[in-house]
Amino acid sequence: MAERVKGDPPPSGGKITSPGVWLTWRAAMERALYGEEGFYLRERPSMHFRTSVGASPAFAEAILRALIQVDERLARPPLLDLVDIGAGEGTLVGTILDLAEPGLVSRLRVTGVDLAERPPGLPERIAWRSSPPGSITGLVICNEWLDNVPLDIVEQSTDGPRLVLVNPETGEERLGPPPDGADLAWLARWWPLRHIGQRAEIGRARDEAWSSVLRRLARGTAIAVDYAHSAADRPACGTLTGYRDGALVIPVPDGSCDITAHVALDSCAAAFQGPALTSTTLTTQREALRALGVTGARPAPARAHTDPRGYLRALARASEEGELIDSSGLGGFGWLCQHIG
């Protein structure tokens, strides 16, 4: 998980009262995160989350370089899209607009996509939508979006996988019915359970969400950045986690905390097929950002004598970049890049 920084507690605890019904985790997450009193519709991410976007402007600079590469690959179309899905407060696209050259800015159509209301003070030229545009030519960036797409959880029982049900008010769990055929097929391919008590998080909903993005991409590149695992290292008990006020908490889906689970990015990578898909790259943030010029290189010590202020600025910048590419932290995130057309 990215470091969570302490924010003000939500009003009235932010809890969603429950009549005591039992829900699947997918239904409970949908309600807790995006329902009428949902966590993400009520809270601003910067109050709670330290992500790559907030860690350093070097992240936005790297995404700008990726955008320029896409622009060149598309032979500089008259209108170039930059779409940020899960845009939060619009910080990433706003920073990119500030950094880009005027010639590029004049051709950019910038869209922030989020279910929360448009942030105050966002530049007027940034469109704000609850769903992506129907046709995109350019770059789509999804930074820590897929990990908050609700999903079902199963546990292996003596008679096969069973859905885990949860009481939204208390977080108490019990086993429910078996998952449907499509989810069983997904489990068999991507997360087979071999021992009683093992758990899996069914990533089919994330696959569908990612595929819906690629279907809107007429030409260009889509990038997903997130906490991830692959078939070689699936966790035996899953990754479902709750965070509140910068601390790890029991994931009770009552609207009072963030609820997240890591993403099977290898499954997402295989979800969209067709002749329009020209290439797929699955790597780590460390490797992706280093390829985009984020190295964390420290300034030469001699500069401290000739340009002390510049040396301190460069040292601070190196520290920020180091955080972005630290393989034990943000640098360990998965990066999925897919090109269309």
User: Considering only CA atoms, which of 79, 50, 76, 31 is closest in space to residue 256?
Assistant: 31
257 pLDDT above the threshold of 70 = yes
CATH number of 301's domain: 3.40.50.12710
User: What is the C-alpha separation between 293 and 326, in angstroms, rounded?
Assistant: 15
pLDDT in tens, 105-140: 999 999 999 999 999 999 999 999 999 999 999 999
**Total structural domains within the chain:** 1
Let me know if residue 195 belongs to a domain.
no
Containing H/E element for 47? none
The model carries a pTM of 0.90
Let me know if residue 261 belongs to a domain.
yes
User: Considering only CA atoms, which of 341, 335, 319 is closest in space to residue 135?
Assistant: 341
Burial 10-26 (b: 16+ CB within 10 A, else e): beeebbbebeeebbbbb
User: Considering only CA atoms, which of 50, 56, 42, 55 is closest in space to residue 12?
Assistant: 42
pLDDT of residue 237: 93
User: Considering only CA atoms, which of 112, 72, 74, 76 is closest in space to residue 91?
Assistant: 112
Let me know if residue 32 belongs to a domain.
no
Let me know if residue 155 belongs to a domain.
no
Let me know if residue 2 belongs to a domain.
no
pLDDT in tens, 162-176: 999 999 999 999 999
Domain interval for residue 114: 38-150+203-340
Let me know if residue 269 belongs to a domain.
yes
- Average pLDDT rounded to a whole number, residues 231-247: 91
With contact defined as beta carbons under 8 Å apart, do 96 and 63 qualify? yes
One-letter identity of residue 164: V
